[in-house]
């Protein structure tokens, strides 16, 4: 006869107590984790980053650094604020309203010339993308062909604001034995340069290569370009800047911010589609422009690296590079004295 095995009856009261204790432990554990997370969030240092213009693909690596947790890993939370030109961004840094800024390298020196003590912590672009663009039918093959030509450019209406592309164009003319009075300026709305060119309002337009070339290619027109850097006009483009006091009094903050930012930029360069997605998701309700933005972003990042960065790392600045900026500003009459370049930039905070 088969043996029968009987289990001891379960004590429902004990089981219920065990279940209640278990659930309480789970709740307490979750509560502790939540409190720890809240405490960690509160312990993050809030800083502001002022970028010199309205949202563009330039924002993408910073957004990505935020989303990937690079700033958080350094104990930072970064608020990105836009401005209407480098002059406004300079003012925010000068008044210490903002901790860091992304402005043209040229603006760092013009600020120094006005005794505004800004310092560049890294350069985002090693080569300058400004140039002039024109339809092939215009038969412009050398600088002297620009005499009498109508030059489309959006010049700011605000006092003390400069269009840096136009200033570089004047340097380009001067280097080639010409002056701005030998051309005719045609004013246009911001971002309307390509449309004005195709509508025949002017003969050439001034702009950055990674934006204008893609716009013209999309229109299916044959065009040529003269990049100022091919004529020796290659000042640093955008730089990461702070107030001199911040660099001296809070070097740890500067090191953390630069480390996380460069990590974001290097990741974005390798993963351009992810970077553009992060940007598009924030600033575009529709995604039909994504492919154009992606092309522009990839072209933009081609300016970020060269032999210097291969040897010393992303963002590295050289004295020669800053001397180049100063020489062009002096030549254009935008500064009237030599600036102590040792005070203008530092590589001390690079990873």
3-state secondary structure of 242: strand
Q: How confident is the model at residue 283 (pLDDT cuts 50, 70, 90)?
A: confident
What's the pLDDT at 36?
42
What's the pLDDT at 298?
96
Dump pLDDT digits (tens) for 44-56.
Answer: 999 999 998 888 8
Find the mean pLDDT for residues 317-342: 93
Q: Which residue has the higher pLDDT, 16 or 80?
A: 80
Residues above pLDDT 90, as percent of the chain: 75
Q: What phi and psi values does residue 141 have, to the nearest 5 degrees?
A: -120, -15
* pLDDT of 110 above 70: yes
Q: Which residue has the higher pLDDT, 38 or 261?
A: 261
Q: How confident is the model at residue 14 (pLDDT cuts 50, 70, 90)?
A: low
What's the pLDDT at 150?
98
Dump pLDDT digits (tens) for 161-217.
Answer: 778 899 999 999 999 999 999 999 999 998 899 999 999 999 999 999 998 999 999
- Indicate the domain borders of the chain: 42-127+235-343, 130-231
Q: Which residue has the higher pLDDT, 150 or 283?
A: 150
Q: Do domains 42-127+235-343 and 130-231 have the same CATH topology?
A: yes
Nearest Cα residue to 218 out of 291, 132, 283, 300:
291
CA distance linking residue 147 with residue 139, whole number of Å = 13
**Rounded to the nearest 10 degrees, how much is the dihedral formed by the CA atoms of 135, 140, 144, 147?**
-40
* Range name among 7-16, 146-155, 307-316 with the lowest pLDDT average: 7-16
- How many CB atoms sit inside 10 A of residue 30's CB? 10
* pLDDT of 159 above 70: no
* pLDDT of 80 above 80: yes
* pLDDT of 114 above 90: yes
CB 197 within 8 A of CB 225: no
Nearest Cα residue to 100 out of 123, 78, 73:
78
What's the pLDDT at 10?
41
Record: fold of 42-127+235-343: D-Maltodextrin-Binding Protein; domain 2 (3.40.190)
What's the pLDDT at 7?
37
What's the pLDDT at 313?
97
Record: fold of 130-231: D-Maltodextrin-Binding Protein; domain 2 (3.40.190)
Which tokens belong to 265?
């930029």
3-state secondary structure of 243: strand
Q: 350: which residues sit within 8 A by CB, 6+ positions away?
A: 121, 122, 258, 262, 312, 313, 314, 315, 316
């Amino acid at each position: 006869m088969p043996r029968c095995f009987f289990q001891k009856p379960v004590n429902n009261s004990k089981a219920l107590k065990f279940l209640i204790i278990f659930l309480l432990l789970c709740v307490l554990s979750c509560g502790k984790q939540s409190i720890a997370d809240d405490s960690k969030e509160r312990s993050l240092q809030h800083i502001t980053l002022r970028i010199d213009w309205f949202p563009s693909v330039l924002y993408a690596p910073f957004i990505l650094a935020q989303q990937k947790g690079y700033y958080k890993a350094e104990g930072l939370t970064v608020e990105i604020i836009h401005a209407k030109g480098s002059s406004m961004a300079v003012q925010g840094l000068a008044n210490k309203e903002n901790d860091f800024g992304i402005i043209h390298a040229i603006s760092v020196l013009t600020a120094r010339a006005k005794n505004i003590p800004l310092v560049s912590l890294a350069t985002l672009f090693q080569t300058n993308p400004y140039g002039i663009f024109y339809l092939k039918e215009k038969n412009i093959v050398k600088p002297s062909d620009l005499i009498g030509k109508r030059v489309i450019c959006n010049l700011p209406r605000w006092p003390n604001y400069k269009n840096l592309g136009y200033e570089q164009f004047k340097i380009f003319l001067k280097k080639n034995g010409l002056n701005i009075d030998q051309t005719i300026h045609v004013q246009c709305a911001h971002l309307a340069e390509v449309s004005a060119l195709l509508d025949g309002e002017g003969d050439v337009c001034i702009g950055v290569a990674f934006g204008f070339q893609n716009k013209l290619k999309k229109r299916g027109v044959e065009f040529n370009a003269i990049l100022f850097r091919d004529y020796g006009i290659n000042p640093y483009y955008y730089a990461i800047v702070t107030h001199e006091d911040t660099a001296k009094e809070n070097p740890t903050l500067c090191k953390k911010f630069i480390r996380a930012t460069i990590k974001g930029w290097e990741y974005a360069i390798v993963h351009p589609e992810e970077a553009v997605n992060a940007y598009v998701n924030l600033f575009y309700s529709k995604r039909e422009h994504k492919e154009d933005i992606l092309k522009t972003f990839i072209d933009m990042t081609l300016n970020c690296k060269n032999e210097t960065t291969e040897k010393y790392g992303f963002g590295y600045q050289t004295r020669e590079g800053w001397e180049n900026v100063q020489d062009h500003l002096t030549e254009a009459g935008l500064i009237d004295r030599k600036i102590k370049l040792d005070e203008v930039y530092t590589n001390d905070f690079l990873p």
